[in-house]
Amino acid sequence: MRVTTSPIEGQKPGTSGLRKKTKVFMSKGYLENFIQSIFDATGGAEGKTYVLGGDGRYFNAEAAQIILKMAAANGARRMIVGRGALLSTPAASHLIRLNGTDGGIILSASHNPGGPEADFGVKFNGRNGGPAAEMVTDAIFARSGEIDTYFIADEPDVDLSKIGTQQIGSMEISVIDPVEDYAALMESLFDFPKIRALFASGFRMRFDAMCAVTGPYAKDILEARLGAAPGTVVHAEPLPDFGGMHPDPNPTWAHELMDEMSGPNAPDFGAASDGDGDRNMVVGPGIYVSPSDSLAVLAANAQLAPGYKSGLKGVARSMPTSCAVDRVAEAFGIGAHETPTGWKFFGNLLDAGRVTLCGEESFGSGSDHVREKDGLWAVLFWLNILAERNESVEEILTAHWHEFGRNYYSRHDFEALPVEVANKVMDGLRARLAGLPGTGVEGLVVKSADDFAYEDPVDGSTSHGQGLRVVFEDGSRIVIRLSGTGTEGATLRLYLERYTTGPGGLDLEVQAALAPMIRAAEELAGIRGVTGRDGPDVVT
């Protein structure tokens, strides 16, 4: 069926797909226009195969039905769908690669809350399994501005609760187990017998799936395959509103886990993941592992896991992520790349075989096994390292800092600011950048200051305006950028980093260690003054 439509404003994918309020996505023609724009901007769906699934949030099931009918009407050959329209983002990435499909559509607003009053999102991933490159998302956006027709099959809903094959017209729909292939991939990378032995020896773990998509994956892999005690995985059932939880695995939102890990009789290891399963947080009893440190520890210990025993080709981190992993790369004599925020920038480096591991400060890490960050993968990697080293999380982290030095690190978020206020902060600092090198702030001398631009070493494309950074002579840094994933006003992110080595300086309280950087940031950008806010809304 051919439906006449007209362009809807604002369908511009951000850091990670198109994210809007659920009601916006449910409004007439909104999802349809965007999906048709994806097909149109990528050469049409005729004869193609796609993977489809989402994180189970409100409107996930309905959106999946619409997309299946649109794919059929656009002439797609086959859709591979997770049972119940569920797929974690990393599992979807794997399925695209495993089946050699033309891409995939993932329904998720990641860690943003779900529900009729909350957020929804759609991501398009390409043949390599990774988020569509900017060239593609720009083309999708451009198409959404001129669209006048979409196609949708006038057919009843498909039963997605049963594994097996069905048809809409001539399009085949394969409903598959969402966990099976992903679990096999994990088993090929990590030493499952060794981790099983660790659990058998009485090692206790808590995994908080936050009522989101990782629940079924974690239950199957940790409890059924690796023998962790039943009940190790909590909040394991994906719910449309995430049970009212905010499925963002950081100390603020995963406070239940944090409380348990800092309480008496804490488990030996704790972890949480986000709405669509690509983020992770890891914690030891009484000790929190910052995502930047986690990436550095994984890199330093990679060879302990069977999938990485031949070493790393290189590493990459997003610009605001701490430089901890760079120290490891330096010690190993491998390349370290600095990319703009967003996983899509790692794709080319991974495809070209230049890096094996990559990560972001925003609780994301991953490797060349898929083209997305992968929450459960990072957790299994840690378990493999814990099983091999037979040390606690704290011992591993402390040894790491002694060897490589410590990058104290924190991100301060100022959320839901009026857009013009956030821009004023950015414009104010941007105007000062050129004059900063050589000047002193809080007893620190500015070494360089710029608006980060990136030239992709593989395809030569450039991305400008990726965040303001001020680097001091001792390696400390201040970075400020605006979020590209928010759905309300503007979110200003302030990233603070200070590097120290040697005795006495390695076990300070993080915010205290960063106090000079916090003051310097205020002096340079005047966030509190301009926004009128007393402090950040979220500190990670």
Q: Which is nearer to Zn ion, 119 or 274 (CB)?
A: 274
* DSSP 8-state secondary structure symbol assigned to residue 158: P
Contact 486, 422 (CB under 8 A): no
Q: Looking at residues 34 to 63 of the shown chain, list those that interact with ligand G1P (rule: CB under 6 A).
A: none
Copy the structure tokens of residue 1: 């069926």
Q: Which of 119, 326, 360, 372 touches ligand G1P (CB under 6 A)?
A: 360
Q: Which is nearer to Zn ion, 295 or 393 (CB)?
A: 295
The span from the CA of 429 to the CA of 424, in Å, is: 9
Residues binding ligand G1P: number (CB under 6 A): 14
Q: Looking at residues 210 to 269 of the shown chain, list those that interact with ligand G1P (rule: CB under 6 A).
A: none
Could you tell me whether strands 444-451 and 440-441 are parallel, antiparallel, or unpaired per DSSP bridges?
antiparallel
The span from the CA of 281 to the CA of 262, in Å, is: 15
Partner whose binding site includes residue 276, from ligand G1P, Zn ion, none (CB under 5 to 8 Å by kind): Zn ion
> What are residue 167's phi and psi, to 5 degrees?
-130, 145
How far, in Å, are 96, 122, 163, 175, 254 from residue 104 at the CA level? 6, 10, 19, 14, 29
Q: Which of 22, 214, 292, 485 touches ligand G1P (CB under 6 A)?
A: 485
Could you tell me whether strands 454-455 and 149-151 are parallel, antiparallel, or unpaired per DSSP bridges?
unpaired
Q: Which is nearer to Zn ion, 112 or 407 (CB)?
A: 112
Instruction: Quickly count: other Cβ atoms within 10 Å of residue 322's Cβ.
Output: 27
Q: Which is nearer to Zn ion, 109 or 357 (CB)?
A: 109
Q: Which of 114, 216, 275, 342 touches ligand G1P (CB under 6 A)?
A: 342
Q: Looking at residues 437 to 466 of the shown chain, list those that interact with ligand G1P (rule: CB under 6 A).
A: none
Q: Which of 51, 161, 68 is nearest to 106 (CA)?
A: 51
Q: Which is nearer to ligand G1P, 178 or 364 (CB)?
A: 364
Q: Diameter of the chain by CA atoms?
A: 71
Q: Which of 408, 413, 411 is nearest to 509 (CA)?
A: 408
Which of the stretches 6-14, 191-199, 274-282, 317-325 binds Zn ion when contact is defined by CB under 5 A? Answer: 274-282
Asked if 110 is part of the footprint of Zn ion (rule: CB under 5 A), the reply reads yes
Asked if 362 is part of the footprint of ligand G1P (rule: CB under 6 A), the reply reads yes
Partner whose binding site includes residue 484, from Zn ion, ligand G1P, none (CB under 5 to 8 Å by kind): ligand G1P
Q: Which is nearer to ligand G1P, 307 or 320 (CB)?
A: 320
Which of the stretches 151-159, 277-285, 393-401, 429-437 binds Zn ion when contact is defined by CB under 5 A? Answer: 277-285
Q: Which is nearer to ligand G1P, 19 or 78 (CB)?
A: 19
Contact 97, 105 (CB under 8 A): no
Distance from the Cα of residue 247 to its chain's centroid: 12
What is the signed CA dihedral for 54, 57, 63, 67, rounded to 10 degrees? 0
Q: Which of 217, 192, 213, 195 is nearest to 205 (CA)?
A: 195
Which of the stretches 48-56, 119-127, 219-227, 358-366 binds ligand G1P when contact is defined by CB under 6 A? Answer: 358-366
The span from the CA of 313 to the CA of 330, in Å, is: 12
Least distance to ligand G1P from the beta carbon of 43, Å?
26
Is the C-alpha dihedral spanning 454, 455, 457, 460 positive or negative?
A: positive
Asked if 102 is part of the footprint of Zn ion (rule: CB under 5 A), the reply reads no
Least distance to ligand G1P from the beta carbon of 300, Å?
22
The span from the CA of 277 to the CA of 123, in Å, is: 14
Q: Looking at residues 98 to 157 of the shown chain, list those that interact with ligand G1P (rule: CB under 6 A).
A: 110
Which of the stretches 48-56, 88-96, 97-105, 477-485 binds ligand G1P when contact is defined by CB under 6 A? Answer: 477-485
Q: Which is nearer to ligand G1P, 128 or 292 (CB)?
A: 292
β-partners of residue 539 are 412
Q: Which of 93, 214, 318, 356 touches ligand G1P (CB under 6 A)?
A: 318
β-partners of residue 50 are 79
Q: Which of 108, 141, 109 is nearest to 38 (CA)?
A: 141
Least distance to Zn ion from the beta carbon of 131, Å?
11
Q: Which of 253, 343, 345, 404 touches ligand G1P (CB under 6 A)?
A: 343
Asked if 274 is part of the footprint of Zn ion (rule: CB under 5 A), the reply reads yes
Asked if 276 is part of the footprint of Zn ion (rule: CB under 5 A), the reply reads yes
Catalytic residues: 110
The DSSP element (H or E) to which 300 belongs, if any, is helix 291-301
Instruction: Give me the residues that bind Zn ion (CB under 5 A), please.
Output: 110, 274, 276, 278-279
**What is the binding site for ligand G1P (CB under 6 A)?**
15-16, 110, 318, 341-343, 360, 362, 364, 483-485, 493
